[in-house]
């Protein structure tokens, strides 16, 4: 099995487990808090910025290749 596919399946399964636990209403259900949402937003913004930066650098080096 492709490791990337296995990782995606695992992450989806964990997200479904957390969603079910949050819907159950237990105080320690593992529901996403505002802090984790902010941290995830910062990580996504950093990943997008890094992606834009690296794509620019790759195109810069591609133009130098004859």
Q: How is residue 34 written in tokens? A: 């505002």
**Under a CB-based contact definition with an 8 Å cutoff, are residues 18 and 30 in contact?**
yes
**What is this structure's pTM?**
0.50
Q: Specify the pLDDT at position 37.
A: 79
Same domain? 24 vs 45: no
* Averaged pLDDT in 10-residue chunks for the chain of 66 residues: 81 83 66 75 93 92 88
Q: Specify the pLDDT at position 21.
A: 72
- Angle ∠(25,28,33) on CA atoms, nearest 5: 85
Same domain? 24 vs 1: yes
Supply the range of the domain harboring residue 62: 32-66
Q: What domain count does the chain have?
A: 2
Same domain? 37 vs 66: yes
Same domain? 43 vs 25: no
| Pairwise CA distance, residues 24 & 31, whole Å | 10
Same domain? 40 vs 15: no
| Pairwise CA distance, residues 59 & 50, whole Å | 14
Same domain? 10 vs 37: no
């Amino acid at each position: 099995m492709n490791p990337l596919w296995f990782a995606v399946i695992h992450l989806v399964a964990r997200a479904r487990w957390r969603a079910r636990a949050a819907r159950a209403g237990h105080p320690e259900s593992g529901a996403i808090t505002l802090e984790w949402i902010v941290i995830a937003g910062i990580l996504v913004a950093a990943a997008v910025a890094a992606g834009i930066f690296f794509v620019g650098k790759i195109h810069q080096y591609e133009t130098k290749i004859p």
